[in-house]
Amino acid sequence: MSRPLILVTNDDGITAGGIAALVSVAKEFGDVLVVAPDSPQSAQGHAITISVPVFVRESDALGEDVEAYECSGTPVDCVKLAKSVLLNGRTPDLCLSGINHGSNAAINILYSGTLSAAMEASLEGIPSIGFSFLNYRADADFSPCLPYVRHLVEFVLTNGMAEGSLFNVNIPDLPADQIRGLKVCRQAEARWVEEYTRSVDPRGRPYYWLTGRFVNEDERTDTDAYALEHGYVALVPSLHDLTNHRALTSLQTIEGSLQPHGLETADAGEGDVKTSQQLEQF
């Protein structure tokens, strides 16, 4: 039986410690293809490159025994190029993204290049997991993450995943023996309170640097933010569907209240068949 094919990517760049840690686990379970940015691409979200060419070249950054490519584009570009060019028609059994330096819990999923790469793979029907470690140091020790990466890779390869979904996994910055386990939870309703710091460059031109603080106003105990604050690894099953399903029913009441401009609704009869010219007014 052939080994599973695992696509690995990230947003911190192909030389980041997190992707090396992720590859070390992926190699235990299957054949690995790495396609990652050639430089850091944090907070790129689901950006794709369309105004300039994207360059890809082989890389030995992860060792000679790993098939790896570095890409001049975004994390999503990496996944698209892997699927359309480098895989030669093969479909990965799993996509892993990360391990990211820093949290991608709560609203951060919308900004994260790590999770957007996993989301792009999930849009192609590939089971996907994005991993983030709440440690921002360049020399971070990722060893506390590895048991959870290993467990979830094995779980998904064994049990599969609903098409179009992905796991957003955040791991607290704690020693391995202080992590209390894994919790499956929902995304906290938290946000960034942002400010721009203004300064002036040597030529007298003003510039602005984005700063801010993360505010969690969600006090419930079933969220990723709560799990992380209490020493748990947080797993949020996520989707690309941004529909507000809670609002669908209440908003259906307005369906009949908005009419095309210039069309009468009263006393409808045989003469009320509308022409295409009239309908174009709406």
Could you tell me the two tokens for 101?
Answer: 């330096």
42 is in an annotated binding site: yes
Contact status, residue 234 vs residue 227, Cβ threshold 8 Å: yes
- Distance, in Å, from the CA atom of 130 to the CA atom of 104, rounded to the nearest integer, reads 9
- The helix/strand/coil state of 182 is strand
- 11 annotated to a ligand binding site: yes
Distance CA 175, CA 240 (A): 33
Q: What CA–CA distance (Å, rounded) separates 62 from 111? A: 27
Q: Which of 80, 63, 70 is nearest to 124 (CA)?
A: 80
The residues near 152 (Cβ < 8 Å, ≥ 6 apart) are 129, 167, 169, 235
CA-based radius of gyration for the chain: 23
- How many whole angstroms separate alpha carbon 46 and alpha carbon 23? 23
Please give the biggest Cα pair distance in the chain.
Answer: 78
Q: How far apart are the first and last CA of the chain?
A: 59
Contact 130, 118 (CB under 8 A): yes
Residue carrying structure tokens 């099953």: 237
Phi-psi region of 106 (alpha: psi -120 to 50; beta: other; left: phi over 0): left
φ, ψ dihedrals at 199, nearest 5°: -145, -175
The Cα 218–Cα 223 span in angstroms is: 8
Binding residues: 11-12, 42, 100
Binding residues for a divalent metal cation: 11-12, 42, 100
